[in-house]
Amino acid sequence: MPPRKRTRPALGFLCCFGSSEPPEINLKDSVPLQLLEFSAPMPPAEELHARFSELVDELDLTDKNREAMFALPAEKKWQIYCSKKKQEDPNKLATSWPDYYIDRINSMAAMQTLFAFDEEEMEMRNKVVEDLKTALRTQPMRFVTRFIELDGLTCLLNFLRSMDYETSESRVHTSVIGCIKALMNNSQGRAHVLAHPQSINTISQSLRQDNVKTKVAVLEILGAVCLVPDGHKKVLQAMAHYQKYAAERTRFQTLLNELDRSTGRYRDEVNLKTAIMSFINAVLNAGAGEDNLEFRLHLRYEFLMLGIQPVIDKLRGHDNAILDRHLNFFEMVRNEDDLELAKRFDLTHVDTKSAGQMFELIKKKLNHTDAYPYLLSILQHCLQMPYKRGGGITWPHMIYHAELMAKMERKERECDTKTQEKEDMMKTLNKMKDKLQREGVELRSARDQVLDLHSRISDIAVSMLSQCLFLSHSDPRSVPAGNFRVCNPPSIYGHPMSRLCTLQNKITGTIWHDVDDLRAFKILDLKDIEKMFSAYQRQQTLNSFLLSSLSSLSVKKETGSMDDLYLSTRKVKELSVIDGRRAQNCVILLSKLKMSNEEIKRAILEMDEREELAKDMLEQLLKFVPEKSDIDLLEEHKHELERMARADRFLFEMSRIDHYQQRLQALYFKKKFAERLAETKPKVEAILSASKEVVRSKRLTQTLEVVLAFGNFMNKGQRGNAYGFKVSSLNKIADTKSSIDRNITMLHYLIMIFEKNYPDILHIQQDLLSIPEAAKVNLAELEKEVHNIKSGLKAIETELHYQQSRTTDRWDKFVPVVGDFITVASFSFSELEDLLNEAKDKFTKSLKHFGEEQDRMQPDEFFGIFDTFLVSFDEARQDLENMQRRKQEEERRARMEAMLKEQRERERRAKKGGATDEVGGEFDDLVSALRSGEVFDKDLSKLKRNRKRSVNQLVEGGGRERPVTKVNY
């Protein structure tokens, strides 16, 4: 099958390359500054020095800068003098000639290494370059011709090469690139740029700057040059030049790095990523790649080697229509080329990820050809490759290196553990000190208050007794001395309360007491609401929405136990000590530990101060604690200790440690304590914070107010006088769809109301930051974990008392280590326990605040309702933004198509009328078509037709089609 011939759209503005040769240009190769034409002949040295001295005096420079100016060559002095005098020339027509711009740019290039320009000066320089860009686009053709004759391109390229860092990162750089692009906007200027031996190389060097706009401008020029005759080869040469210039490991490396960047300011630079992808597609599919399959495959493998496929997958997350268009074209052409390659091997697909499959295909193809000995020679040379791992370290050195690294890691763990323990102890001591001081102050204050109260009571008693002596017996309210009478209290029962009061009593003390849906009624567009959701009134699907007091969902009491503190030793089936699966598993564990029995014993007695026993190893050791049956059998054979197997000897020696199991459990608990505390405390804090947030959030209160008003209006005449609703009803609004547009839900509509009348509600997530984490917390499991930690601490304290009562040897460090640990851990745990009690109290109050039944909802259910609502809220906002973006994109595309159509129509009329004097927008149109991907439209359509034809052939031949949507590399 002959290679496919792919054509691009016939762009009318490229016809200048097809019918006639580009005009011959007398190009001066890298002309130095002294050979450039001046606006006036240079005077003798003495006169030049006198004029230049006057100029320097006018500039009012420092002594150092004056010396630098006078040290310049005579030619540069004359350039600067002419440029300065032209600025002062009152002739306003000076800017109509390219001589003015060339002199100014030459002067800027000569002076930029001497001074540090301020912002105002930099803006003036940018204005000069921008004016030149505008002139190249709008002035008559004779202006461009004169600019070419004066070698203005070399002037621009010299300026690019000589830019200092500040200028290269400024708008001036982007404007200079724009001047070159404007020069290429007509056939004569474009031919002049392509004929210059260094122009494309110099332009490519600007890719090294950080200015994103400059990079995009350069990539658009390079991509468009790929599409013009003789341009593709120059672009590939320029990228090879840039590889050396930027010290890249391989070609295109910088572009792939830019394409992959997703942090900092590059995270949302979709324009840059789109420009890179359009450039890559132009490089792959233009020039030699237009007809040659091998060339395309070779060049594409270069990009695949740099990892472009996973980058493409990541770029689809931007959800940008133009970027996706370029990504789709890249993958479509790749699929087509892979199919064509597979046909050469009589296959439907070649797995280029599999070295084995590719080798078998090559071997099969070359097996009976003259090329087979060369394949063997390649493989023989491959056998001589040095097989080293670990960055060139050979195996013996690698083993030694691994041992050293293991020792170093153990020492680092030991050091980190000691440092952390020291920091925890210091924090605990400081907290204990502060707590004791606070309690002392509180105790003194309480004592003073009690004394003051006693004094006041005494004074009141004396006063009362004195008054009783003067009571009059004639006063009906008086009481004779010694006779006390208790009056009946006034009745607290009044008249029956109205229905409204009864409802209000039900909401007293809740959030609904402060919610006034009448405020929202004054703002809502009630007619629009009725129009959007009227159908649902007839279907009575909203009868219960937001208004019915849905019964609280009972929390399922999940059964199941948490691991106890000590990972209690699991009772396994009693097996022979010297035989069986238990002994085999024990040997496997000891081989992983890589420690002798003596080292393990020492580590346990020292409470692993050297950090040799990892937590997971301790957990496994707890599974092999000697049981009584093991100990009895081992005692019978203790005289045969030397003949015991590895597991038997280990169990025997560990059984000699007093309270071995309790020590091991204490050590494991000590190592796991900080981790368990770090896992538990954030859950408690999440419940506490979320309970406070839902009560304090004004945005949430306002949201509920609007939803209540909305629901009351939707249910008017039925149950439309509700004063509140169950919070579980909040998530029903996302399921209620409009009767007009099924893509719009009630939540979408509410968000539109918020955007118009309550824009602050849109930031409701900022008030409820802890909700997502609190929604994951099961309070019953949390309380059980806290109880387990408390039980573990008590068990360790019991073991500490036992160890303190017995005599220990010098290796045993259980008492000092565990004593210090309990001091720190007890205080940390008491803080956790207090925090949990506070969180439970705040959670109970939050339930009451929303009128929910207490003891019927757990935090994961209650906060899960709000979490679901926030997620739905965010998704609905994103839906509305996507709808708006798609609408804007469609409008923009329609405008662009209309503008492009109008531009082509103008070109057609201009060519028909024979107008050649004015400069057209040919190169700009080519760049625009490349940027939008329209330049590949015909290729894409043809590929789809070929793909459909291939599918039909495969179906007719009983073959199986390979998916073409995406190729993983």
Please indicate, yes or no, if residue 663 is contained in any of the structural domains: yes
- Same-domain pairing of 637 and 701: no
Spans of the chain, pLDDT less than 70: 1-40, 58-61, 84-96, 112-118, 263-268, 386-407, 410-411, 414, 421, 450-507, 521, 526-527, 530-579, 717-720, 900, 903, 907, 910-922, 937-969
- Same-domain pairing of 729 and 870: yes
| Domain's final residue, options 642, 675, 708 | 675
**Count of C-beta atoms within a 10 Å radius of residue 354:** 11
- Same-domain pairing of 257 and 360: yes
For 90, the enclosing helix (H) or strand (E) is none
Q: Which residues pair with 429 in a beta bridge?
A: none
- In this predicted structure, what is the pLDDT of residue 795? 93
Residue 728, domain CATH: 1.20.58.2220
Please indicate, yes or no, if residue 665 is contained in any of the structural domains: yes
| pTM (two decimals) | 0.44
**Count of C-beta atoms within a 10 Å radius of residue 639:** 8
Please indicate, yes or no, if residue 697 is contained in any of the structural domains: yes
- In this predicted structure, what is the pLDDT of residue 238? 92
Give per-residue burial for 477-513: e unless 16+ CB within 10 Å, then b: eeeeeeeeeeeeeeeeeeeeeeeeeebeeeeeebbbe
Residue 634, domain CATH: 1.20.58.630
- In this predicted structure, what is the pLDDT of residue 630? 80
- Same-domain pairing of 684 and 646: no
Residues recorded for the chain: 969
- Same-domain pairing of 286 and 338: yes
| Domain's final residue, options 367, 401, 429 | 367
- In this predicted structure, what is the pLDDT of residue 221? 92
- Same-domain pairing of 744 and 612: no
In angstroms, the CA 905 to CA 926 distance is 15
Please indicate, yes or no, if residue 247 is contained in any of the structural domains: yes
Containing structural domain, residue 804 = 679-874
Please indicate, yes or no, if residue 617 is contained in any of the structural domains: yes
- Same-domain pairing of 584 and 660: yes
- Same-domain pairing of 671 and 732: no
| Domain's final residue, options 629, 656, 675 | 675
The number of folded domains in the chain is: 4
Please indicate, yes or no, if residue 58 is contained in any of the structural domains: yes
Please indicate, yes or no, if residue 640 is contained in any of the structural domains: yes
Please indicate, yes or no, if residue 833 is contained in any of the structural domains: yes
> Is the Cβ–Cβ distance between 80 and 58 less than 8 Å?
no
- Same-domain pairing of 586 and 702: no
- Same-domain pairing of 619 and 693: no
- In this predicted structure, what is the pLDDT of residue 294? 86
- Same-domain pairing of 697 and 825: yes
Sign of torsion, CA 357 358 360 364? positive
In angstroms, the CA 135 to CA 444 distance is 88
- Same-domain pairing of 643 and 776: no
